[in-house]
């Protein structure tokens, strides 16, 4: 379903055979394509987590369900247009716990009792052909129990500048892991390609901080 902002404002999503989106050049519309379903390992993992949490909600104690409802009402989420939306307690339970389970941590039956973590102070990324990366951040290490979620956009020409809605999860650090976060991408990088990196802190309750952005240029390998 497409989203509209104002009478003639921004539109995101698909209506009929058209898909509406935007980039730094402004809004645009293109013919809607039917996405493939490759059933990759990450997709399978996420689907399994969502199914587990959705069915697990029925075993959450009534007092905890009410607490989740109250937490969700006091902590509205933000949609892709930047608008505040109110989750149900069920949605909040799944959203926060799916992050934790994706990181290999256990789900929480009760909602958070503290506010979310502060944002990262600095973020810098180095990508090296053909697939190596190193992500530096501060503070380092983050507070005990906190992890850093790192997202990246598909590398491309210098003229491309995709936004966070187009980013994919690259890495979740271990709890209280120090900077930098190193690893290898699942696709080949080419020298002088550019991409965006986004990172945020996740606490032990699954709450996340605001996203911090960095731009990276792929360097030549040795």
pLDDT score for 222: 76
3 state DSSP class of 109: coil
**Res 75 pLDDT > 60:** yes
CA angle centred on 57, ends 69 and 146, rounded to 5°: 75
The pLDDT assigned to 24 comes to 55
Q: What is the pTM assigned to this prediction?
A: 0.79
Q: How many CB atoms lie within 10 A of CB 7?
A: 5
Please state the domain extents for the chain. Answer: 1-35, 42-102, 122-219
Per-residue pLDDT reduced to its tens digit, 40-55: 666 777 889 999 999 8
What is the third-level CATH fold of 122-219?
A: Immunoglobulin-like (2.60.40)
For the segment 19-28, what is each residue's pLDDT rounded down to a tens digit? 556 555 555 5
Using DSSP bridges, classify how beta strands 18-23 and 26-31 pair: parallel, antiparallel or unpaired.
antiparallel
d(CA 153, CA 164): 8
Helix axes 41-56, 89-102, angle to 10 degrees: 140
Position 218 scores a pLDDT of 97
């Amino acid at each position: 379903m497409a989203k509209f902002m104002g009478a003639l404002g921004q539109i995101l999503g698909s209506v009929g055979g058209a898909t509406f989106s935007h980039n730094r050049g402004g809004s645009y519309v293109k013919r809607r394509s039917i996405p493939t379903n490759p059933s990759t390992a990450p997709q399978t993992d996420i689907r399994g987590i969502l199914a587990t949490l959705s069915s697990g909600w029925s075993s959450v104690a009534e007092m905890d369900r009410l607490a989740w409802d109250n937490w969700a009402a006091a902590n509205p989420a933000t949609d892709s247009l930047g608008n505040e939306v109110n989750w149900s307690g069920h949605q909040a339970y799944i959203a926060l716990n799916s992050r934790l389970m994706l990181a290999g941590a256990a789900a929480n039956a009760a909602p958070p009792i503290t506010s979310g973590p502060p944002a990262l102070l600095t973020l810098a990324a180095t990508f090296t052909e053909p697939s190596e990366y190193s992500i530096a951040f501060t503070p380092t290490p983050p507070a005990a129990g906190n992890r850093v979620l790192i997202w990246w956009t598909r590398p491309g020409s210098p003229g491309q500048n995709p936004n966070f809605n187009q980013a994919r999860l690259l890495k979740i650090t271990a709890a209280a892991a120090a900077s930098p976060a190193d690893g290898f991408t699942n696709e080949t990088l080419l020298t002088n390609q550019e991409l965006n990196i986004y990172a945020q802190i996740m606490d032990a309750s699954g709450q996340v901080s605001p996203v911090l952005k960095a731009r990276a240029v792929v360097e030549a390998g040795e």
